Structure 1
Amino acid sequence: MAFGIHRSELQDWKRSVSNGDIAFLTHYWLDERFPGCKTVTKVGCSDLKKLIAWGKQYGLKAEWIDMKKDYPHFDLFGQRERDILINEGLTDQLERFR
Protein backbone atom coordinates (compact mmCIF):
# COMPACT_ATOMS: atom_id res chain seq x y z
CA MET A 1 0.00 0.00 0.00
CA ALA A 2 1.37 3.41 -0.98
CA PHE A 3 0.43 6.66 0.69
CA GLY A 4 1.78 10.10 1.58
CA ILE A 5 2.07 11.57 -1.92
CA HIS A 6 -0.17 13.71 -4.09
CA ARG A 7 -1.61 12.46 -7.37
CA SER A 8 0.33 15.20 -9.18
CA GLU A 9 3.63 13.82 -7.79
CA LEU A 10 2.80 10.39 -9.18
CA GLN A 11 1.81 11.88 -12.54
CA ASP A 12 5.05 13.89 -12.70
CA TRP A 13 7.07 10.74 -11.93
CA LYS A 14 5.24 8.75 -14.63
CA ARG A 15 5.80 11.54 -17.16
CA SER A 16 9.53 11.72 -16.36
CA VAL A 17 9.90 7.94 -16.57
CA SER A 18 8.06 7.89 -19.91
CA ASN A 19 10.36 10.65 -21.21
CA GLY A 20 13.43 8.53 -20.50
CA ASP A 21 14.59 10.47 -17.45
CA ILE A 22 15.85 8.85 -14.25
CA ALA A 23 13.01 9.75 -11.89
CA PHE A 24 12.61 9.29 -8.14
CA LEU A 25 9.40 8.87 -6.18
CA THR A 26 9.47 8.25 -2.44
CA HIS A 27 6.33 7.39 -0.52
CA TYR A 28 5.16 5.68 2.62
CA TRP A 29 4.75 1.97 2.10
CA LEU A 30 3.81 -0.96 4.27
CA ASP A 31 4.56 -4.52 3.27
CA GLU A 32 4.80 -7.29 5.83
CA ARG A 33 7.55 -8.92 3.74
CA PHE A 34 9.81 -6.00 4.74
CA PRO A 35 9.35 -5.36 8.45
CA GLY A 36 10.88 -2.14 9.70
CA CYS A 37 10.65 -0.42 6.31
CA LYS A 38 8.08 2.35 6.15
CA THR A 39 9.08 3.98 2.87
CA VAL A 40 10.10 2.94 -0.61
CA THR A 41 11.73 4.98 -3.35
CA LYS A 42 10.92 4.02 -6.90
CA VAL A 43 13.67 4.93 -9.35
CA GLY A 44 12.32 4.59 -12.86
CA CYS A 45 13.26 5.20 -16.47
CA SER A 46 11.72 3.91 -19.70
CA ASP A 47 15.20 3.73 -21.25
CA LEU A 48 16.24 0.36 -19.81
CA LYS A 49 19.91 0.73 -20.78
CA LYS A 50 20.03 4.03 -18.92
CA LEU A 51 18.22 2.57 -15.88
CA ILE A 52 20.51 -0.46 -15.78
CA ALA A 53 23.61 1.75 -16.01
CA TRP A 54 22.28 4.00 -13.24
CA GLY A 55 21.57 1.01 -11.00
CA LYS A 56 24.94 -0.58 -11.67
CA GLN A 57 26.76 2.29 -9.97
CA TYR A 58 24.89 1.37 -6.78
CA GLY A 59 25.27 -2.39 -7.09
CA LEU A 60 21.68 -2.89 -8.28
CA LYS A 61 21.14 -5.82 -10.62
CA ALA A 62 19.13 -5.52 -13.83
CA GLU A 63 16.98 -8.48 -12.78
CA TRP A 64 15.75 -6.40 -9.81
CA ILE A 65 13.94 -4.00 -12.15
CA ASP A 66 10.19 -4.19 -11.65
CA MET A 67 8.82 -4.68 -15.17
CA LYS A 68 5.20 -5.47 -14.26
CA LYS A 69 3.88 -2.04 -15.18
CA ASP A 70 4.48 0.47 -17.97
CA TYR A 71 7.03 2.20 -15.76
CA PRO A 72 10.21 0.12 -15.25
CA HIS A 73 11.78 0.89 -11.89
CA PHE A 74 13.96 -0.23 -9.02
CA ASP A 75 12.38 -0.34 -5.57
CA LEU A 76 14.74 1.00 -2.92
CA PHE A 77 14.16 0.65 0.79
CA GLY A 78 16.06 0.43 4.04
CA GLN A 79 19.68 1.51 4.30
CA ARG A 80 20.24 1.25 0.53
CA GLU A 81 17.36 3.69 -0.04
CA ARG A 82 18.85 6.12 2.48
CA ASP A 83 22.38 5.88 1.07
CA ILE A 84 21.25 6.40 -2.53
CA LEU A 85 18.97 9.34 -1.70
CA ILE A 86 21.85 11.02 0.14
CA ASN A 87 24.26 10.34 -2.73
CA GLU A 88 21.74 11.70 -5.27
CA GLY A 89 21.25 14.87 -3.21
CA LEU A 90 17.63 14.04 -2.41
CA THR A 91 17.82 14.51 1.34
CA ASP A 92 14.53 16.43 1.19
CA GLN A 93 12.86 13.06 0.66
CA LEU A 94 14.51 11.69 3.79
CA GLU A 95 13.37 14.70 5.79
CA ARG A 96 9.85 14.58 4.39
CA PHE A 97 9.32 10.90 5.15
CA ARG A 98 11.70 10.57 8.13
Structure 2
Amino acid sequence: MAFGINRRELNDWKECVKKGEVAFLTHYWIDERFPAIRTVTKAGCADIEKLRIWGQRYGLKREWIHMRHDGFPHYDLMGETQLRILREEGLEEHINRFLEK
Protein backbone atom coordinates (compact mmCIF):
# COMPACT_ATOMS: atom_id res chain seq x y z
CA MET A 1 0.00 0.00 0.00
CA ALA A 2 1.40 3.39 -1.03
CA PHE A 3 0.88 6.65 0.78
CA GLY A 4 2.50 10.04 1.33
CA ILE A 5 2.07 11.33 -2.23
CA ASN A 6 -0.74 13.16 -3.92
CA ARG A 7 -2.56 12.51 -7.19
CA ARG A 8 -0.59 15.23 -9.02
CA GLU A 9 2.75 13.63 -8.09
CA LEU A 10 1.53 10.24 -9.27
CA ASN A 11 0.17 11.65 -12.54
CA ASP A 12 3.39 13.61 -13.18
CA TRP A 13 5.40 10.41 -12.73
CA LYS A 14 3.10 8.52 -15.09
CA GLU A 15 3.40 11.22 -17.76
CA CYS A 16 7.20 11.17 -17.60
CA VAL A 17 7.23 7.37 -17.79
CA LYS A 18 4.91 7.43 -20.83
CA LYS A 19 7.22 9.92 -22.57
CA GLY A 20 10.12 7.47 -22.23
CA GLU A 21 11.92 9.34 -19.48
CA VAL A 22 13.43 7.56 -16.49
CA ALA A 23 11.24 9.00 -13.74
CA PHE A 24 11.30 8.57 -9.97
CA LEU A 25 8.47 8.34 -7.48
CA THR A 26 9.26 7.80 -3.81
CA HIS A 27 6.53 7.12 -1.29
CA TYR A 28 5.81 5.48 2.02
CA TRP A 29 4.95 1.84 1.67
CA ILE A 30 3.77 -1.11 3.73
CA ASP A 31 4.24 -4.64 2.47
CA GLU A 32 4.27 -7.65 4.77
CA ARG A 33 6.99 -9.26 2.60
CA PHE A 34 9.38 -6.47 3.66
CA PRO A 35 8.56 -5.64 7.30
CA ALA A 36 11.66 -3.45 7.83
CA ILE A 37 11.07 -1.35 4.70
CA ARG A 38 8.97 1.81 5.03
CA THR A 39 9.65 3.53 1.69
CA VAL A 40 10.11 2.54 -1.92
CA THR A 41 11.22 4.45 -5.00
CA LYS A 42 9.79 3.48 -8.34
CA ALA A 43 12.23 4.15 -11.17
CA GLY A 44 10.07 3.82 -14.27
CA CYS A 45 10.31 4.24 -18.03
CA ALA A 46 8.04 3.02 -20.83
CA ASP A 47 11.12 2.39 -22.99
CA ILE A 48 12.17 -0.97 -21.53
CA GLU A 49 15.58 -0.95 -23.18
CA LYS A 50 16.33 2.52 -21.82
CA LEU A 51 15.19 1.40 -18.36
CA ARG A 52 17.33 -1.74 -18.60
CA ILE A 53 20.44 0.24 -19.56
CA TRP A 54 19.76 2.76 -16.77
CA GLY A 55 19.37 -0.07 -14.24
CA GLN A 56 22.50 -1.82 -15.46
CA ARG A 57 24.54 1.25 -14.40
CA TYR A 58 23.41 0.53 -10.84
CA GLY A 59 23.78 -3.25 -10.93
CA LEU A 60 20.05 -3.88 -11.42
CA LYS A 61 18.96 -6.85 -13.51
CA ARG A 62 16.43 -6.72 -16.33
CA GLU A 63 14.37 -9.45 -14.68
CA TRP A 64 13.84 -7.13 -11.71
CA ILE A 65 11.77 -4.76 -13.85
CA HIS A 66 8.17 -4.88 -12.66
CA MET A 67 6.21 -5.20 -15.90
CA ARG A 68 2.90 -3.66 -14.94
CA HIS A 69 -0.22 -4.51 -16.92
CA ASP A 70 -1.14 -0.81 -17.09
CA GLY A 71 2.00 0.23 -18.97
CA PHE A 72 4.25 1.64 -16.23
CA PRO A 73 7.28 -0.66 -16.06
CA HIS A 74 9.62 0.14 -13.19
CA TYR A 75 12.26 -1.01 -10.76
CA ASP A 76 11.29 -0.99 -7.09
CA LEU A 77 14.22 0.48 -5.17
CA MET A 78 14.45 -0.21 -1.44
CA GLY A 79 16.91 0.00 1.41
CA GLU A 80 20.56 0.84 0.80
CA THR A 81 20.16 0.47 -2.98
CA GLN A 82 17.35 3.03 -2.91
CA LEU A 83 19.41 5.50 -0.88
CA ARG A 84 22.53 5.06 -3.04
CA ILE A 85 20.65 5.54 -6.31
CA LEU A 86 18.70 8.55 -5.05
CA ARG A 87 21.98 10.17 -4.01
CA GLU A 88 23.69 9.37 -7.30
CA GLU A 89 20.69 10.71 -9.24
CA GLY A 90 20.77 13.95 -7.21
CA LEU A 91 17.32 13.36 -5.73
CA GLU A 92 18.05 14.71 -2.28
CA GLU A 93 14.47 15.99 -1.96
CA HIS A 94 13.24 12.37 -2.04
CA ILE A 95 15.71 11.46 0.70
CA ASN A 96 14.84 14.48 2.85
CA ARG A 97 11.10 13.97 2.46
CA PHE A 98 10.85 10.20 2.95
CA LEU A 99 14.05 8.67 4.30
CA GLU A 100 15.68 10.99 6.79
CA LYS A 101 13.51 11.91 9.74
TM-score above 0.5: yes
Q: Which residue of 1 aligns with 2:98?
A: 97
Output the TM-score relative to the length of structure 2: 0.94
Q: CA deviation at 1:68?
A: 2.3
**5+ unaligned residues in a row in structure 1: which ranges?**
none
Could you list the structure 1 runs, at least 4 aligned residues long, displaced by more than 3 angstroms after superposition: none
Output the TM-score relative to the length of structure 1: 0.97
Q: How many residues align?
A: 98
Q: Which residue of 2 aligns with 1:40?
A: 40
Q: Which residue of 2 aligns with 1:55?
A: 55
Between the aligned partners of 1:81 and 1:71, the Cα distance in structure 2 is: 19
Q: Secondary structure at the match of 1:94?
A: helix
What is the root-mean-square deviation of aligned Cα atoms in Å?
Answer: 0.7
Q: CA deviation at 1:58?
A: 0.4
Q: CA deviation at 1:85?
A: 0.2
Q: Secondary structure at the match of 1:36?
A: coil
1:1-98 counterparts in 2 under 5 A?
1-69=1-69, 70-98=71-99
> Percent identical across equivalent pairs?
57
Between the aligned partners of 1:16 and 1:7, the Cα distance in structure 2 is: 14
